Structures are given as C-alpha cells and as structure tokens.
Structure 1
C-alpha cells in the first residue's frame, strides 16, 4: 500500500473511533487508561486535568502508546497502534475548540485552570487488520 493510501486508512480509523487507550510510563512500567480522542490530521488530542497521574507521567517521560479502533466485532476489526510524544497544550483556542458538554462533569468552563489538552504527535502509526493484509507502518519521525 502506498503512503498516501495508508494515511487515508489511518485517518479513517481516527474519524470513526474516538475512545482508545493511552499508555504512559510510571516508574518504568506501562500504565494505561481509556481516553477520548479527536484529531487534526495525524495529531491526536485528548482533554484531561492537570491534576492527574498521567500529566505527571508525561512530564517525566513524554513517550506514549495509543490504541484506537477495534470495535470488538471479531478478529478482523481494523485499529491503529500509535507511538509518539505527548505534550501539554494549554492553548485557549484549542481548549475552546475541544470543549463539549461532557467536559462540564469535570471542569467549570474552557477557562478552568485545571483543564488541559494532551497533544499526541505521532512518530509511527501502525494500521492493523486491514482486510487481511499484514500490518502497515507509517513512519513520521
């Protein structure tokens, strides 16, 4: 599969799936949790509180692994394995863009001082279970 087609397939998975796992490193061991993701091109974004363990873990080690996709319908469900670096983005514009009513359960408003966005820059994205083809890797670093 050529690189452009691979990117299109990866973006399709990102468009169709918003819940995935974010794995960080805590005391040299993997630590994962479910998160909700949105994306702009191949960059993933997820809201969180500055007062969480994951923020502390990312400050210590920005390397992360994200699984997105796989709907549980069977062996052939398409998903991506996303490896990259995560940073904290406190941009007012981005926080307002990602704001939703669901976030009112955690934050008072987009201006809440604890509300921050995790910005996930890919280094490699692996497309899995793509119509019985072997996995395909998009290298970005």
Structure 2
C-alpha cells in the first residue's frame, strides 16, 4: 500500500467514525475516555468543557493516544491509532463550524465560554488490523 493509499484509507476512517477513545495521563497512569471527533485533513478536534479532568491532564502533558474506527464487525476490522499533541482552541469560528445540536446537553451554544475544542496535531498515525496485515505507519 502506497503512502497516498494509506492516507486515503485513514482519512476515510476518520470521516466515517466519530467516536473513539482518548488517553491522557492522570497521576502518572493512563486515563481513557470516549470522545467525539471531527477532523480537518489529518488534524482532529473534539469538544470539551474547559473545566474537566482531561483539560487539567493535558495542561500537564499535552500528548494523547486515540483509537478510532473499529466498527465491531469482528476480527480484521481496520482502525486508526493516532498519537497527537493537544492544544486548546477557543476560536469562535471553529466552535461554530463544529457545533451540532447533540452538544446542547453539555453547553448553552457555540458561544458558551465553557465550550472549547481540543485541537490535536498528529505526531504519528498507524492503520491497524487491515485484514490481519501488520500495522502501516503514515509518514508525517
């Protein structure tokens, strides 16, 4: 598989899968949770409240590990392992662009000052489990 084909496959998974696990470090131990992800090119975004454990954890260590794409059909399902560096994005334009009505259960609207985006810049991306093949690393 060429790097171009690999990138196309990864972008397809990111487009079709919006829920994944996101790991941070809490008290020197891994801490994972399910998150909703959006992507622009290979950069991921996920909404969160500015006053959560994860924001505190990411202030101490801005690196994360994300698994996204497994659809549960069985052995051989492909998914993406994504390592990234997180920054906090409070851009009104980006918050508005990524806003959807499902977020109303957590925020008053895209202008809510507690609503921020975690912007995740890729450090390493691997395609996993493609029909039992070994992992394929996307060159960054």
How many corresponding residue pairs? 140
The match for 1:3 is 3
Deviations 1:29-85 (A, max 9, x none): 110000000100000110000010000001110010000011111011110000010
The match for 2:116 is 116
In the alignment, structure 1 residue 99 sits paired with structure 2 residue 123 = no
Q: Tell me the CA shift for residue 120 of structure 1.
A: 0.8
* Counterparts of 1:128 and 1:63, CA distance in 2: 20
* Counterparts of 1:84 and 1:117, CA distance in 2: 14
The answer to whether the 8 A contact 2:85-2:121 is kept is: yes
The two structures have a TM-score, normalised by structure 1, of: 0.96
The two structures have a TM-score, normalised by structure 2, of: 0.97
Q: Tell me the CA shift for residue 123 of structure 1.
A: 0.7
The answer to whether the 8 A contact 2:14-2:69 is kept is: yes
The match for 1:22 is 22
Q: Which runs of 5+ in 1 are unaligned?
A: none
Q: Which runs of 5+ in 2 are unaligned?
A: none
Q: Tell me the CA shift for residue 2 of structure 1.
A: 1.4
